[in-house]
Structures are given as C-alpha cells and as structure tokens.
Amino acid sequence: MAHSSMDRPVLPFRILTLSGSLRAASSNSALLEAAAVLAPQQLQLVPYRGWGALPSFNPDLEGAEPAGVLAFRAALRDADAILIASPEYAHGVPGAFKNALDWVVGSGEFINKPVAAINASGRASHAQSSLLDTLAMMNADVVLAASLTVALPTNKLDCAAMLADAGIAAALGEALDALQEHLLSLGLSVNNS
Amino acid sequence: MAHSSMDRPVLPFRILTLSGSLRAASSNSALLEAAAVLAPQQLQLVPYRGWGALPSFNPDLEGAEPAGVLAFRAALRDADAILIASPEYAHGVPGAFKNALDWVVGSGEFINKPVAAINASGRASHAQSSLLDTLAMMNADVVLAASLTVALPTNKLDCAAMLADAGIAAALGEALDALQEHLLSLGLSVNNS
C-alpha cells in the first residue's frame, strides 16, 4: 500500500474523467475542469475525450475492434477510478456516451473499478439513475457517496465561474473527498499504470 | 382521407422500421423482417438501416448536421409511423441507437408521429421502458397497444423460424393490427411522402 510506504514518493491516484457531452461549452465538462483544480493532492484528474469518435457498437466486431475502442479500454484499465459527469438528453443518458460504455461491457474494464458520477443539473435525474444502474449492471464499484448532483444557478457557468461559486466548490470538494476516502479504504496501490 | 376515397387506389401506410441492433444475426432485426411479411395490406414496412453510421450527437453541430443526419430526418418525416425493435445493452437502450434519437430531439420529426416499440426479449424490460419514456419525452404518439414484448424460446431464431412459430406470429400480428387500427383511427391521409 504505497500510501503508508515511507521509502518512495507517494503518487496520486489516477482518476480518468469522462464528460458525457461533446459540446465545447458543456457545463459537465466545466464541472470536471473545476474538479481537477479542486482535487486533493492524492487525486490526479485526467480527462479522456476520445470516446466521442467511437463507432456504433456492434457485437459482430468482437475480436476486431477499431483502434479507438482499444485505446478507450486501455485508458480505463490504467485508471484507479473513473469520474463521470454527464448531461441528460431526452430523459436518458446521451446515446453516444452510452455507446462508449456498450463497447466495454463485454471486455470488463469497469468490473470492480471505482466509479463516481456527478451531474451538473438538478433536472437530469432520469439519466443519472439510468447511468448508475448501467454501471452497477457492469459490476463497477459505484461510489454513491461521491455521486451527487451539483445544482447550477444557470447553465452558462464556465470552470472559473464554478470555482468562484462557494456552493459548487463545496459540492465538488465533497464528492472528491468521498472518492479519495473510498480509494484509500480499498488500500489500493497508488498509480497502477 | 384516402382510405374512404373511391377515385384513386388506396396506398398502404408507410411504416419505417428501425432495429436497434447492428448485429447481422440480430433477433430484433429478424422480428422486423417477420413483421414485414405478416403486415396487413394497409401497412408497408420499410427498413431503415442508416442510423448506425451517424456520428456522435453534438449540439454544437446544430445547423451544420452531417448528411446522414439529414437523410435520417427525411426518412422519419416521410413515414406515417415508426416501428422500433431494440435489444437491451447493460440495462439500457443501445447507446448508438439512442444517439440516433438524440439527433432528432431538437428537429422534431417524432412530434406526434405514431411510434410502436416491440421487443424480442422478455428480459429487456429496462431498455423497453426507457425507450418508451424517451419517445414520450420527444412528444411522439406512442402506440402502447402495439408496443409489446415477444418472448422468444431462444435467441437463435431467424425470420423464417419466427414465422413458423405460431406464438410469435400471433404476437406480431396483434402488434401490427393495433398499429393499423391506430393509424386508421387518426383518419390519416395514406402515404404522405
């Protein structure tokens, strides 16, 4: 357990962040940027944006997956935990983001992987519960204490505005602390990459 | 109301069918093929397969949609009704199929459009209810009487085997009759294309 070891530097946990929106001005992407700034020293947040370019999942391609799918799986494997922030489209998870998850159901990168899902809108309750259900079905280690909805006063806030908002910063801090606490409780070796 | 007109041939209603699976041997695609064979004379079932090639939905592309998106929207507009058969992946609608729906939430092709969703597996209840919820949120005219689950004895049946199974054929016939009855009750002009 590297965190209690005295004879080498303590590396942070590697947290892969996935925004479920491809919009340039996405509130969920901004929320993850703000989280990266606020993260405690033991968490290193690393965004992964390549999922938007994945083709439609087709079970017939098992064993002949496109390179982007293999890169996505490798990025998930290399992470100690995953932090998702996803919007809601038409009462559901954005299809393109769910499509990325569909590519890793069979390959198993989410099995026992600590995952938290935060959410930038109080109205997105259908998608949030549906996403948590899908993650649980994939046997992810869903960290509910770190999975919370951050109510935004408007959907026009960028990362700087979120950092300047005490309520948002406090909610993010709470989620990050809960995620870190969970990882420490598992006695994970730090940085398995 | 072409159906009551005596002075021109009665054309069938145009029903666009969408299988939510891209697998070559998909049970849901086979179910739609069987439905096309069993359809009453007043329903013409036309498969649309192009949705699998749509890129990830990105709201920033509004007004600059790729050609495939415009073709999908036109196909939906030209249909009198939509018949969907979708599998369930990880307790949800297949992401790629939901992605196709995300592309038409804003453009409105589903508004007031009669839509039925049949389903080739009794275990796919999460995806079926989630799909119906999304369609309702899109203000589609969801035809619940034509939206049913067809319990399959195995998932290895092709179209011919489904047609040979009295129970499956009866369930499909029931769904198609309910869809036709609904279209007739609307007094729709036949073939609006």
Q: In angstroms, rounded to a whole number, what is the distance separating the alpha carbons of residues B72 and B86? A: 17
Q: What pLDDT is attached to residue B49?
A: 94
What angle (nearest 5°) sits at the alpha carbon of residue B4, between those of residues B139 and B169? 65
Closest-CA distance, A42 to chain B, in angstroms, reads: 32
Chain B neighbours among A 85-114 (CB < 8 Å)? 89-102, 105
Indicate the pLDDT class of residue A107, thresholds 50, 70 and 90: very high
Closest CA to B86 of B37, B138, B51, B44: B51
Copy the structure tokens of residue B2: 């072409």
Sort out which chain A residues have CB atoms less than 8 A from B24's CB and list them.
60
Indicate the pLDDT class of residue B193, thresholds 50, 70 and 90: very low
User: Would you call B60 and A22 a contact, using CB atoms and an 8 Å cutoff?
Assistant: yes
| Residue pLDDT, tens place only, B21-48 | 999 999 999 999 999 999 999 999 999 9
Q: Is pLDDT above 60 for B7?
A: no
- Mutation pick from B89, B126, B133 vs chain A, by most beta carbons of A within 10 Å, is B89
Contact B149, B86 (CB under 8 A): no
Indicate the pLDDT class of residue B172, thresholds 50, 70 and 90: very high
Q: In the CATH hierarchy, which top-level class contains the domain A12-185?
A: alpha beta
Averaged pLDDT for residues A100-127: 92
Q: In angstroms, rounded to a whole number, what is the distance separating the alpha carbons of residues A145 and A141? A: 12
| Residue pLDDT, tens place only, A9-26 | 568 999 999 999 999 999
Return the domain boundaries, chain B: 18-185
How many other C-beta atoms are found inside a 10 Å radius of the C-beta of residue A181?
Answer: 14
Averaged pLDDT for residues A134-142: 98
Q: What pLDDT is attached to residue A53?
A: 97
Contact A115, A143 (CB under 8 A): yes
Closest CA to B89 of A58, A22, A84, A75: A58
Contact A13, A190 (CB under 8 A): yes
| Residue pLDDT, tens place only, A42-85 | 999 999 999 999 999 999 999 999 999 999 999 999 999 999 99
Closest-CA distance, A30 to chain B, in angstroms, reads: 16
Q: What pLDDT is attached to residue A5?
A: 47
Q: Is pLDDT above 60 for A190?
A: no
Rama region for A78: left / alpha / beta (φ>0; ψ in -120 to 50; rest) = alpha
Q: What pLDDT is attached to residue B190?
A: 54
Q: What pLDDT is attached to residue B122?
A: 66
Which DSSP category does A80 fall into? S
How many other C-beta atoms are found inside a 10 Å radius of the C-beta of residue A73?
Answer: 16
| Long-range residue pairs from A7-10, CB within 8 A, at least 24 positions apart, any chain | A10/A42, A10/A190
Percent of chain A scoring above 90 in pLDDT = 82
Find the DSSP H helices in A60-94.
67-77
Which DSSP category does B50 fall into? G
Distances (CA, A) of B141 to A95, A188, B177, B182: 21, 51, 16, 10
How far is residue A165 CA from its own chain's centroid? 22
| Residue pLDDT, tens place only, B64-104 | 999 999 999 999 999 999 999 999 999 999 999 999 999 99
**A191 vs B: CB within 8 A:** no
Q: What pLDDT is attached to residue A1?
A: 41
User: Would you call A102 and B91 a contact, using CB atoms and an 8 Å cutoff?
Assistant: no
Q: What pLDDT is attached to residue B1?
A: 41
Beta strand pairing status for A81-85 and A13-19? parallel
Percent of chain B scoring above 90 in pLDDT = 82
The tokens 């998870």 sit on which residue?
Answer: A93
Q: In angstroms, rounded to a whole number, what is the distance separating the alpha carbons of residues B152 and A118? A: 38
Q: Is pLDDT above 80 for A119?
A: yes
Closest CA to A61 of A72, A69, A53: A69
**A138 vs B: CB within 8 A:** yes
Q: Is pLDDT above 80 for B4?
A: no
Q: What is the rounded average pLDDT for all residues in chain A?
A: 92
Copy the structure tokens of residue B142: 């969801």
Averaged pLDDT for residues B113-121: 93
How far is residue A40 CA from its own chain's centroid? 16
Q: What pLDDT is attached to residue A23?
A: 96
Q: In angstroms, rounded to a whole number, what is the distance separating the alpha carbons of residues A91 and A191? A: 36
**B149 vs A: CB within 8 A:** no
The tokens 């939430």 sit on which residue?
Answer: B105
The arrangement of secondary structure in B18-185, i.e. its CATH architecture, is 3-Layer(aba) Sandwich (3.40)
Please give the ipTM for the structure prediction: 0.91
